[in-house]
Structure 1
């Protein structure tokens, strides 16, 4: 890998770290400005002023905000997110119990959405301008326009209330077979796939069409290569970078939709833990969950950015 490409990658990594630091400052500021007293809410309305003052001192809430921020930042980078105000358990422990569930949901969504989106995008690009292409464009635009909460609500009304095929809530404790796994994850995965597949398919279509207009494709057509061979042997290898960029960017939208999906289906993941923490004004838990989401989002965006840099032939040949 050439030196200028290495410098670009290092610059992207440095920018990601700087962005994460700026996000941490924003997260800390917003949580600090939430209405109400965290110590008062933790002790309840019947607590005496002396007990509230003592808890504020114990939690460090009586210190200046800038001091609390740098203390929290130092602890966070060492892996210590503090203790939850609701149950006095380490925040890292609470996150560790919920994060695998969210990763399973994200992984299943990825397994379903990526092949489906690539198939739709490649098919639309190969037959661009045809009735199939127009129909797929209408479907993808419609899917992007519909919010996740509406898709989830309609899915519950149809498949859980009307047809009674699937459970309305995701109780992971009731998973005893592969059939139970499919029934519990069907609606959450379907809801997340709606927007992700549409976005990914449209970006894949654009990347493939861009390669189909290249001169080497014209040469392959003149040599008598079939359209399917041109796409699989020539176009897709050259479109790997843009397609990987599209996949990474599309999957980053998971972290917005998963909050809604986990709340509607009562799925025991990290997003539902974050919602409960906001309701209880559990500041350390809110900060820890938000930082995990931000770090994961930045990681996917960084992967997309690096794919764009590495796959750029002008940078490789410079």
Structure 2
């Protein structure tokens, strides 16, 4: 086995172990929520016999560890169970919501990634000037402001005062692509503003760290313009850390959309998990949490592998 294959196999095994630990935390965390699911579903006026019968039908009368292994085995077979709130198959319930969340995340990435690369290159090109300081101030401000505040500001400016975009992102399976893009414009902008700063600052830092290398000085001595030195020589060698940050921010875009989806009432996976928590729909909460965790672990694993492939020095750790 080659060194890179060995390292990637170790990362995959570590990712699988992490996901298993997360499944334990998700299952235990939901099970230890205060209150009783059967009582919540039947209401406070339910008789003890009715509560006991419902608990037995839901398998809540068997030991916790047996319930966990039964749940984990069903998940591994692709069976997420049945929703308690409406009796629908959870996989069918999640599928359109997951598509909506992925569509929103990809739209935000299409906005944020090119702007981050362009802003980072401009900041590195005009480093230690007014332009560089202005970009740093804007990026630090966007990092410091929470998502819901950015969302409400955009709603106030673009929806209430300007009336350009809708304040609620109401979409369904019948919505056209243009209608969907219009509906998610504000949540996409919100997510783009939130993640833009991290990628832009990493691009700037990675490029500046390479500017003292000899091959950069050689390119300058050849008379190449500074922008060409940055784009043609510095940027390709800075792609490893930049790609890692981009992938990690994509993971945040997919798993961190809960607040944004709730603000804009967007029918995604984040909105579904919030609604399910309010209804005490335990199987749906567990399934959504595990999907979020699996997505985050997978994208972190992708970032690790990209770093290893892009930087041969990581294939021979000391």
| TM category, shorter | over 0.9
Distance in 1, Cα, partners of 2:107 & 2:166: 18
1:301-312 map, 5 Å: 301-312=300-311
Distance 2:274 2:316 in 1: 49
Alpha-carbon deviations, 1:27-78, whole Å to 9, x = none?
A: 1111001111111212233332222111111111111111111111111111
Distance, in Å, in 2 between the alignment partners of 1:315 and 1:198 is 27
Q: Secondary structure at the match of 2:209?
A: helix
Q: Give the match for residue 142 of structure 1.
A: 141
Q: Is the aligned partner of 1:34 residue 2:16? A: no
Instruction: Give matches, 1:78-97, under 5 Å.
Output: 78-97=77-96
Q: Structure 2 vs 1, CA of residues 289 and 316 (structure 1 numbering), >3 Å: closer, same or farther?
A: closer
Map 1:197-236 → 2, pairs under 5 A: 197-236=196-235
Where does 1:1-318 land on structure 2 (aligned, <5 Å)? 3-173=2-172, 175-176=175-176, 178=178, 180-315=179-314
Partner deviation per Cα, 1:85-121 (whole Å, 9 max, x = no partner): 1111121111112111111101111111110111111
- The range that moved more, 228-237 or 97-106, is 228-237
Partner SS for 1:60: coil
Q: What is the alpha-carbon distance in structure 2 between the residues aligned to residue 22 and residue 189 of structure 1?
A: 32
Find the aligned partners of 2:142 and 2:297 in 1 and give their Cα distance: 25
| SS of equivalent to 2:14 | helix
CA offsets per residue over residues 190-240 of structure 1, 9 Å max, x none? Answer: 111111111111111111112222221111111222222222222222222
SS of the aligned residue for 1:109 comes to helix
Q: Is the 8 A contact 1:274 1:285 kept in 2?
A: yes
Tell me which moved more, 100-109 or 240-249.
240-249
Q: Closer, same or farther in 2 for the Cα pair 1:177/1:30, shift >3 Å?
A: closer
Give me the TM-score of the superposition, normalised by structure 2. Answer: 0.94
Aligned residues: 316
CA drift at 1:182: 4.1
Ranges in structure 1 where 5+ consecutive residues have no aligned partner? none
Tell me if the contact between 1:125 and 1:205 (Cα under 8 Å) persists in the aligned partners.
yes
Contact kept, 8 Å, 1:242 with 1:308, in 2: the verdict is yes
Question: Offset at 1:315?
Answer: 4.1
Bigger Cα displacement from structure 2, 124-133 vs 277-286: 124-133
